[in-house]
Copies of this chain bind each other. A is one copy, B any other.
C-alpha cells in the first residue's frame, strides 16, 4: 500500500484527487489538509462524501506527518508549493499539481508567474509528469511536476511526431476549457450568469501555459512559431484542443497514424481514434483518457484534435498515474476508465 497525504484538498483538483485515491486499491490516504477549512469534516465541506469514508480536514503539521507517508500530493495555487517542497523532500516523495516546478527555465517561470522562485535548485531535479513521455524518469523521481491541463492536451499528441523528426513550420493551438479549470474561488468571471450561454477567448497571447507548452515541445523538435489561445466553455469539465500544424515537409496521414500507433498502442490512457472519428468531451468525462484524432487537410497541413477531462488526465488523474509509475504499480489501476454518459 502506498500511504499518501494531500495538501490542499478542498479545491477542485484536491477533491478530484480524493475521488480517485479513495477508489485506488493500493492507496491508503493518511491525511488531508486545508488551510481554510481546517477542523471541518470532509462530508460537511462536500456532502458528496456522506456515508463514504470520513476525513477530517486538518491544519498542516507536516513535521510529524511526513514520517507516515510515502508520497505527498500538493494541490495549491502556484507560488506556494516551492516553500513546502524542500522540507517534504527530506522524508518523502512529492507530486506537485501546481506550476512551480514545471518550467525548467526559471527566468521564464519568474517572468510569467511574476514571482521570485525560492527553490530554484529543485527545478532541475523535478521530472515533468507525463508518463507517456517521461516514464523512466518518473519511476525514479522524488519530485514530479504534474503538467498543466492545456499542456497535457497538446504535448501528448505532438510529442511522437516531433520525436520522429517531423518539423513544424507553425503550431496553432485553439483550446477550449470547461469552467472547473478556473478553480473553486468565487469571482465574477465564473458567475453562472456570466458563463452560461456565453463563450469567449481569454488571456490571448498571455496565458501561462504557453511557455510550458513551448518548452516541452522544443525539447523534442522544431516547432516554428507557437500560437496558443484558450477559450472558456459553458460546461464544467473538459478540454478540447484543436491543433493546426504546418509541416516543413509533407507527410501522409497514414504515416502520422502509424507513428501514433507505434507510440500509443500500448499506452493504457491514450486512445487514438480511427480515421474519420474525432474526440468529443462527453466520451472522456470523468475518465483519465486522452482521446485524439487527426486529419490531413492539404499538403503540409494537418489538424490534430485532442480531448481530456481537465480535472482527471489534465490534473489529478495524471498525478495518480504518475504515482503509479513512481511506486511500480500497474499504471492502469485505481484510475477512472468509466465515463459518465449521458
Instruction: For A23, give its contact among B202, B271, B338 (CB under 8 Å).
Output: B338
B192 and A190 within 8 A (CB): yes
Q: How far is the CB of A190 from chain B (nearest CB, A)?
A: 5
19 contacts between A and B (CB under 8 A): A51-B271, A51-B289, A52-B338, A176-B231, A186-B188, A186-B190, A190-B192, A190-B193, A191-B192, A197-B197, A198-B281, A199-B240, A200-B280, A201-B278, A201-B305, A204-B305, A231-B240, A231-B242, A234-B235
Q: Does A165 contact B (CB under 8 A)?
A: no
Contacts of A298 in B (CB 8 A): 225
Q: Does A328 contact B (CB under 8 A)?
A: no
Scan A258-302; emit 1 where CB is below 8 A from any B CB, else 0: 000000000010010100011111110111010100010110010
Residue tally, chain A, CB below 8 Å to B: 78
* Known contacts A240-B201, A242-B174, A286 near B192 by CB under 8 Å: no
Residue of B nearest to A52 (CB): B337
A297 and B205 within 8 A (CB): yes
Instruction: Using CB atoms and an 8 Å cutoff, list the residues of chain A in contact with chain B.
Output: 12, 15, 19, 22-23, 46-48, 50-52, 170, 172, 174, 176, 179-180, 184, 186-188, 190-202, 204-205, 225, 227, 229, 231, 233-238, 240, 242, 244, 246, 268, 271, 273, 277-283, 285-287, 289, 291, 295, 297-298, 301, 303, 305, 311, 337-342
CA distance A128 to B271 in the complex (A): 42
B201 and A196 within 8 A (CB): no
CA distance A15 to B193 in the complex (A): 13
